Chains A and B, each alone.
Chain A
Amino acid sequence: MAEAGGKYLGSFSLGLRGALEYRANFVFSLLGAVAPVVIQTALWTCLYAPGSGAGSSGDRLFGFTYAQMLGYVVVANIVSRLVRTGFEYDLNDDIKSGGLDRFLVKPIDYFGFRMAQFAGAKSAETAFMGLTLAIALVVLSAATGFSASHLAALGFVAALALAFFLNFLVFWCVGLLGFWLAEIGFLFEAARIVIITASGGIFPLSVFGPSVGSALAVLPFRFTIQFPTDVLCGRVAGADLAWGLAAAAAWSGLLLVLARAIWAAGLRRFVALGS
């Protein structure tokens, strides 16, 4: 008999092959990642420019020098791309159109399947974005003197893995609302914008001021983009890094329990109502 765990490895592989099937779409989605970086770099260059009110390029804005801000923008954009979901549309479609049926009759856990398939679909993009990140860091290093220690790089990988899982769980929970709401496509887009903003994916959270910043600090979202970015940029290290990783893991555990509970309730409703 084949290994029971093989079904999730198979799901991963299916996701990867599915992502590679449409090569043009794959390339365009990667190119789409470049535009926000260019726009934000231009924006911050203007804001830091002498005479803009922010002072000379050596001055700080929201606690960041110009070089730090550029480093943040580039890394945060790549991180947000790496953790970005998309499976929630499939999840919602399965609930709405009854496609979930095909999984219910099979000996496979739906959460495990979607997670593995999504990770597989993401892996090709992750490899490419990893390469992009490496090139970006070399360019940043030459242009702004950016540097990242080996420890920061290791911490970044751990923080990124947790961020990926955490973001998956956040959107999984949002997607599960499809069990109760007939049309939630709009909710996904609204949630994505709010969550990316609250994660520090557009600006560092310090831009929002101390009160909003401290409110956002108690939420899990910052662990999906800002935290890994800060780790790589060297703004979080040592005990703060360990503490942050533990907090991200704790949030993941909590959301996993929540996701399981929502799934169980939703599935009861789905099976009770029929599709």
Chain B
Amino acid sequence: MGIIEVKGLKRDFSYYEKAEGLSGSLRNLVHRKKLVREAVKGVSFSIREGEMVGFLGPNGAGKTTTLKMLSGIMHPSSGEALVLGHVPWLRKKDFRMRISIVMGQRSQLWPDLPAVESFNLNREIYEIGRRDYERSLGELVELFGIKELLGVQVRRLSLGERMKMEITAALLHRPAVLFLDEPTIGLDLLSQRAIRELVRTLNERHGTTVMLTSHYLSDIEELCGRVVLINRGEIVYDGPLAGVNATLADRKVVRLLFSAPVPLSELEAYGGLRVLGGASGGSQDAQAAVSLEATFDVARSQVRDFSRRVLGELPVADLTIEEVPLEEGIARLYRGGNDHG
């Protein structure tokens, strides 16, 4: 039995359609056409204690809706879920004492006051003993390097600093389950890395179970051994991160830089041309086009022969051979197809 158990969780939203313009607004006053959108269509999964799971999906896929249901903020339309043995949306005190959610685009801190004031209030809210609080805060302050910022009004902090404070506030009571919804959104690379390192350290030290949604694949790649991909409210993949590209494992990407422009027609003759110096391979003036770089999609077994051929026949200045990017595997799973593009 996992620490998070989800079975057939479904969530519909109703909304109204409104015609354009003033007449549409007037008609809307009298009659509204009600529409229903299925945001989450019966998802099921299980997460073990101490696991860090990446929850990935394009905008509107149902990630945040699922996290909101699992943290008790929203009722499902149907289905079941147990988090730490509790039905989340009943919001029992024991449940709320042991979970935390950080939403990257929504602040939990009081903007007019220094973050330490919000931390103190959280100490009271979560009934944390003074010694535990100081130990917990000390650890987080050290990991994030935010000692000098504790007394600064939250509204005067940078986005990255604020997010560090948000996460600190969410972790003071040492939650057993942590939901992170886009915690690194809009942050610079250094802040992103600091947050990732902190989450990893806490998971290692305290066994915190983490469910993380992010648009940044590097968050997921660095933290999560397992990913759940959701698209249009349905889970399209649940398994190890390495498995995302399993169906593309027989492909390699070969990137070439040329010392002199090469005609497109010549490049196309090799087959598998993907990208051409920023332009696609199928433009209308293809015959006249030349390029200083090109990327080819090559079968793994053909890479050696292909490389030998292009090195011999084209003015190659640089050649790199790479795995198919994770994004492509994910995009392909979102499409649900078996194509290689």
Contacts and interface: CB of A to CB of B under 8 A. Distances in A.
The B interface, classified by DSSP as helix, strand, loop or mixed, is mixed
A9 interface: yes
B278 to A, nearest CB: 41
Given A9-B124, A101-B106, A102-B108, A107 B101 contact: no
A275 B13 CA distance: 11
B175 to A, nearest CB: 10
A169 B86 CA distance: 33
Interface string B83-99: 00000010101001101
B71 interface: yes
Nearest to B105: A98
A104 B75 CA distance: 12
Interface residues of B, number: 37
Most buried by A among B74, B99, B123, B128: B74
A11 B112 contact: no
B106 A102 contact: yes
A6 B96 contact: no
A6 B96 CA distance: 17
A98 B106 contact: yes
Interface in B115-134: 117-118, 120-130
Nearest to A102: B108
Given A10-B124, A274-B65, 13 more contacts: A6-B127, A7-B127, A11-B121, A14-B121, A17-B117, A21-B153, A101-B68, A105-B96, A105-B99, A106-B126, A107-B96, A107-B127, A273-B13
A238 interface: no
Interface in A1-47: 1-4, 6-7, 9-11, 14, 17-18, 21-22
B100 interface: yes
27 contacts: A1-B127, A1-B128, A2-B124, A9-B124, A10-B120, A10-B121, A10-B124, A14-B113, A14-B121, A17-B113, A17-B117, A18-B113, A21-B112, A21-B153, A101-B73, A101-B101, A102-B106, A104-B91, A105-B72, A107-B93, A107-B96, A107-B125, A271-B89, A274-B11, A274-B68, A275-B73, A275-B74
B267 interface: no
Interface of B: 11, 13, 65, 68, 71-75, 89, 91, 93, 96-97, 99-101, 103, 106, 108, 110, 112-113, 117-118, 120-130, 153
Given A14-B121, A101-B103, A274-B74, A4 B127 contact: yes
Interface of A: 1-4, 6-7, 9-11, 14, 17-18, 21-22, 98-99, 101-102, 104-108, 271-275
A105 B73 contact: yes
Contacts of A101: 68, 73, 101, 103, 106
A107 B110 contact: no
B233 to A, nearest CB: 14
A102 B103 CA distance: 9
Contacts of A4: 127
